[in-house]
Amino acid sequence: MEIMWISATYDRGVTSSATYHADLGKRVLEWGGTNLRDLPWRRTREPWVILVSETMLQQTQVSRVSERLPDFLERFPDPSTCAAAGAGEVVAAWAGLGYNRRPLMLHRAAVQMVALHAGAVPSGLTDLLALPGVGPYTARAVRAFAFELPAAVVDTSIGRVYARLLGRRLTSGEVQQVADYTASDDEPWLWNQSIMELGAIVCTKRSPSCGSCPVDDLCAWRGVGDDPAMGSAGVSVPQAPFEGSDRQLRGRLVDAMRRGPVRRSDLPAVMQTDNERAGRVLAGLERDGLAVVSAADVRLP
């Protein structure tokens, strides 16, 4: 890992990777201390709030999550309340946030927390990763943002920052190694929030503001030549078009089921497609646990 840092910064006149690392860490923390946006999930260290918000933020705009989070938490203020509700209630409350498997997994995680952790969100990485729907990013985010424990979070923004700093594409393992090597163990909350914010508002995907970046002179790319973030693991790639996709049809049916059971005979009209495709989409929803199917109708679990 040290060789990687030296090779990335040698032409900048840095004498050692330790010097580079210390300078990078100091500047990012100082920048984050005065530049973090005021977001609801940054005002709390409540583990359930952090878990819910991080689940919502997966591929959903910050503004949308800020708007919907309070209502969801009012209805499901803790894992026990969420677990006691039906999965369908949680999915129904998720309306407008997309990716409807997420609330289903959140409900299953809440059930597991009640069964294994006395209704509390665990702090251990292994325990967090064992929760349904919780992957490496969310587990580390909960550790850093709720418990302020050492953890190196890697999301799209952070992966983009590291690829550009190093000036080359990174594999998923390399991104996590770089994050682990760089993260501050003394200030895990501020470090992860700061490096993430840097990617979100300065080192952006399309129009990075290199001139206002606090680590511009430590960056191997600096906006010149091919962007090393493109194709790096952990950096988002364009999705297939939503319009006309099975994802759109799934969403139409789930939205209809939020209002009540849907008759089997109405499925093509509800999804705005033919019988064969409607049946295939329904089978996928049933397989994922998002639909309960009877001879007469389909409904949320």
* Average pLDDT rounded to a whole number, residues 109-138: 97
SS3 146: coil
> What distance lies between CA 259 and its chain's CA centroid?
28
Catalytic site positions: 54
**Rounded to whole angstroms, how far apart are CA atoms 172 and 232?**
8
Q: How confident is the model at residue 6 (pLDDT cuts 50, 70, 90)?
A: very low
Domain ranges of the chain: 2-37+152-218, 46-145, 246-299
Q: What is the pLDDT of residue 15?
A: 52
CATH level 2 (architecture), domain 46-145: Orthogonal Bundle (1.10)
Q: What is the pLDDT of residue 10?
A: 40
Question: What is the CATH code for 2-37+152-218?
Answer: 1.10.1670.10
Q: Helix H segments across the chain?
A: 2-9, 17-35, 47-56, 62-75, 79-84, 87-93, 101-116, 125-129, 136-145, 156-166, 172-182, 188-201, 246-258, 267-271, 275-288
* Average pLDDT rounded to a whole number, residues 250-258: 95
Q: What is the pLDDT of residue 228?
A: 93
DSSP labels, 97-124: S--THHHHHHHHHHHHHHHHSTTS---S
pLDDT tens, residue by residue, 87-108: 999 999 999 998 899 999 999 9
pLDDT mean across residues, the chain: 91
Task: Answer yes or no: same fold for 2-37+152-218 and 246-299.
Answer: no
* Average pLDDT rounded to a whole number, residues 180-198: 95
246-299 adopts what CATH topology? Arc Repressor Mutant, subunit A (1.10.10)
Task: Single out the residue of 114, 116, 138 nearest to residue 125, CA to CA.
Answer: 138
* Average pLDDT rounded to a whole number, residues 141-152: 97
Q: How confident is the model at residue 7 (pLDDT cuts 50, 70, 90)?
A: very low
> What distance lies between CA 67 and its chain's CA centroid?
17
* Average pLDDT rounded to a whole number, residues 182-190: 94
Residue 5 has pLDDT above 90, yes or no: no
